[in-house]
Structure 1
Amino acid sequence: MSHPSSPAAHRILCVVGARPNFMKMAPIIAAFDALAPQLSAVLLHTGQHYDVAMNHQYFSALGMRAPDINLEVGSGSHAQQTAEVMRRFEPAMDEVKPSAVLVVGDVNSTLACALVACKRGIPVVHVEAGLRSYDRTMPEEINRVLTDQLSDLLFTTESSAREQLLREGIEGDRIHFVGNVMIDTLLSNLDRAVPASTVAALAGRPHFTDNEQGYALLTLHRPANVDDPAILRSLLETARLIGNRTPLLFPLHPRTRAMIERAGLQSLIDHPGILALPPMGYLEMLGLMRGARVVLTDSGGVQEETTALSVPCITLRENTERPITVEQGSNTIAGVEPSAIMAAYNKVLAGGGKTGRVPLFWDGQAAGRIAHILLRWLQERAGDQP
């Protein structure tokens, strides 16, 4: 275990646990580094997502340094994973002695580390606060609500999140609307995105994306969609209908691939109009999204990224914790019924897909706002002279 040894006015222990966290943390680390030595970032990876090759691919693509600390927690039930993160995080936090613990998003590591820090009297900073799906069957929703209640500083991606947090009893002076750090990462990497044609060629289908209708992109990983064989079958059958009309690229999340195999549904994706792909790196996914005619997904992050790219998005869920992507962006909530999905898809092909507008503060500067607000808050709290 190691961490930067140079003294700093305020050392921030920055926690990542799963790949979506990496895209959120990369610009924050860069913004803290720009304010060194007043702010110093110690990067801790809990190991919640533990695919070494995929993690390295993401860190490399995002220009992030390797984690200073890796807890190597691995998989388990939600309870097991949360408890193990807490058990391993506490001694790491005691060694670093941070001025604050910064967590992002809504994964188990987010809540686990926030809880340990709060109980030890270390300030908690939550980036991406106030997002709600109002669906307590989603483990992420529990993580969001509880992390926000534990946090001392809450940074929001959209203005409506403030009202939500105020309704939940959080003081207004703890809430700061700064914009979306995911979009910081997207904008800074857009010119490095790998084109879909390159991805198709590497998969042995070089002309797969050469279609006058363009191509569709599908991502599935939510347990509610992939763990239920009936729902998974229905979604894959709908994917075949889309593949009959538009080439469909389908990067397979490891969980999704395992569930397809377990349910005996492999034949549904063995279709000339579907290109099943291994998990993609960040730059590959960015290129696939940017070039798509339409994206179908159950991912919250993809809803945000397609809004920033003005690419029509069809969300395969009954709700979203990112309402701004529907109200202002390019997102349509379709649920999982084939008729609703196909209606939204047909609207896109007919030229009626939403492109929306890019929300306020999704401008590539969110991490800089976070760094300056956090530094000022820590200085005031410690009685320092800025």
Structure 2
Amino acid sequence: MLQITLIAGARPNFMKIAPIIHAIQGWQKSGHSIQYRLVHTGQHYDRKMSGDFFEQLDIPDPDVNLGAGGGSQAEQTAAIMVGFEKELVANRPDVVLVVGDVTSTLACSITAKKLLVPVVHVEGGIRSGDLSMPEEINRMVTDSITDHFFTTSALANENLKKAGVEGHRIHFVGNTMIDTLLSQQPKFKRPSGEVFNGLQANAYFVLTLHRPANVDEEAKLKATMEAILEGTGGMPVLFPVHPRTAKILKNIGVQHPNLHYLEPLSYLEFNYLVKHAKGVITDSGGITEEASVMNVPCLTLRDNTERPETIELGTNELVGTDPSKLKPYLEKILSGEWKQYQGIPQWDGHTAERIVNILVEIYGQS
């Protein structure tokens, strides 16, 4: 019996885990002895993560929630490690699978390795080169103790090889986030509410901002918002606001008839808006992946990216954090001259199947 413990700490992690659960279930249906245990660390409390959320992803509720939300990064890391150690002692698996680059990824990897449980990292090897990002620290530490790596790009493979990882531990499988996107696309739904009723496809922008470099300095955030409103041709700008950003926006009082602040949306609603948008303006890495595959123009307000394939083969461009640089990019989107999605290797909806096939091969089956 192969027993796998799957770790998720925040909503995007469940998007990455869901197709892996489906692939395990496929093995189970064909009579193989493979089981999984889904551990939610509780790192992020998200009121959108109700039973409906798990139902939409067609996965069961987590087997356990460690309830390790809140506090500083150090306090949260410690709380996850204490809770996960108890979980592993009570339910020791053959392998622990972590995804992405959140605090839970780091904390659970360390805990598992100290208990001599193998760790595999989905999305291993990606790097921004920016050590001011907590996620970059999480990636580097996790990858330094990981046993096997499931990568999303050829560049991630190279990053690992440069760090001294042997080739047989690196598995180029693709992107499970895209597995979820492609399987859920037929279910995308327009959000309800007056703001959305008159929306025309290809006639509005979607905006998300949450990184400190963009939102912590009030004057800079105000200049960014003004540049966006000036450059989007009078089209509506839909802005689902991160709680961190909401407080700062309230202080600077940015209001405009075309600017619509939204409550956080469900996965199906948010990606409906992205799919039909004229363009997306963001500082989120995951959104650049989804926008690229849906062939929607995407501007990233960051000075670096750990997902360069979205620029080389996708629809993403790295604008930087200087608001004055936005105008020519927005003009290009409005003129319809934006580059098209070229297709990113292995981002085909079958990544999770490849992952589980490899796990069975490495860690055995009865």
Q: Residue 54 of structure 1 aligns to a residue in which SS?
A: coil
Looking at structure 2, the residues matched to 231 and 116 of structure 1 have their Cα atoms a distance apart, in angstroms, of 40
The equivalent of 1:168 in structure 2 is 163
Alignment of 1:20-35 (within 5 A): 20-35=12-27
Report whether the alignment pairs 1:205 with 2:195: yes
Q: Which amino acid aligns with 1:32?
A: I
| Alpha carbons of structure 1 residues 220 and 118: separation in structure 2 relative to 1, 3 Å | same
Q: Which fold has the larger relative contact order, with Cα–Cα distance below 8 Å and residues 6 or more apart in sequence? A: 2
The equivalent of 2:228 in structure 1 is 239
The equivalent of 2:96 in structure 1 is 101
Match of 1:329 among 314, 338, 341: 314
Alignment of 1:213-252 (within 5 A): 214-242=203-231, 245-252=234-241
Q: List per-residue Cα deviations over 1:162-204 (Å, max 9, x = no partner).
A: 1110101111110000011000000001011013xxx2xx332
Report whether the alignment pairs 1:351 with 2:336: yes
Report whether the alignment pairs 1:314 with 2:299: yes
Identity %: 46
**Shift in Å at residue 242 of structure 1?**
3.8
Out of 183-192 and 49-58, give the one that drifted further: 49-58
Which ranges in structure 2 are unaligned for 5 or more consecutive residues? none
The equivalent of 1:290 in structure 2 is 275
Aligned length, in residue pairs: 363
Q: Cα RMSD over matched residues?
A: 1.6
Report whether the alignment pairs 1:191 with 2:191: no
Q: List per-residue Cα deviations over 1:296-324 (Å, max 9, x = no partner).
A: 00010001001111111000101100010
Q: Is the 8 A contact 1:128 1:180 kept in 2?
A: yes
Q: Which amino acid aligns with 1:360?
A: P
Q: Is the 8 A contact 1:18 1:47 kept in 2?
A: yes
Which ranges in structure 1 are unaligned for 5 or more consecutive residues? 1-8
Report whether the alignment pairs 1:258 with 2:247: yes
The equivalent of 1:140 in structure 2 is 135
Q: Is the 8 A contact 2:228 2:326 kept in 1?
A: no
Out of 161-170 and 351-360, give the one that drifted further: 351-360
Q: Is the 8 A contact 1:216 1:292 kept in 2?
A: yes
Q: Which amino acid aligns with 1:288?
A: L
Q: Is the 8 A contact 1:19 1:58 kept in 2?
A: no
Looking at structure 2, the residues matched to 227 and 206 of structure 1 have their Cα atoms a distance apart, in angstroms, of 29
Alignment of 1:39-58 (within 5 A): 39-58=34-53
**Shift in Å at residue 206 of structure 1?**
4.6
Q: List per-residue Cα deviations over 1:94-119 (Å, max 9, x = no partner).
A: 11110001000000000000000011
Q: Which amino acid aligns with 2:338?
A: G
Looking at structure 2, the residues matched to 79 and 61 of structure 1 have their Cα atoms a distance apart, in angstroms, of 33
Looking at structure 1, the residues matched to 198 and 49 of structure 2 have their Cα atoms a distance apart, in angstroms, of 25
* TM-score for both structures, normalised by structure 1: 0.90
Match of 1:11 among 3, 6, 18: 3
Match of 1:74 among 50, 58, 69: 69
* TM-score for both structures, normalised by structure 2: 0.95
Q: Residue 96 of structure 2 aligns to a residue in which SS?
A: strand
Match of 2:357 among 372, 375, 384: 372
Q: Which amino acid aligns with 2:215?
A: V
Q: Which amino acid aligns with 1:275?
A: H
Q: Residue 303 of structure 2 aligns to a residue in which SS?
A: coil
Q: Residue 360 of structure 1 aligns to a residue in which SS?
A: coil
Looking at structure 1, the residues matched to 217 and 76 of structure 2 have their Cα atoms a distance apart, in angstroms, of 22
| Alpha carbons of structure 1 residues 357 and 48: separation in structure 2 relative to 1, 3 Å | same
Q: Is the 8 A contact 1:19 1:55 kept in 2?
A: no
**Shift in Å at residue 78 of structure 1?**
1.2
Looking at structure 2, the residues matched to 137 and 231 of structure 1 have their Cα atoms a distance apart, in angstroms, of 19
**Shift in Å at residue 55 of structure 1?**
4.9
Looking at structure 2, the residues matched to 34 and 124 of structure 1 have their Cα atoms a distance apart, in angstroms, of 22
Q: Residue 40 of structure 1 aligns to a residue in which SS?
A: strand
The equivalent of 1:363 in structure 2 is 348
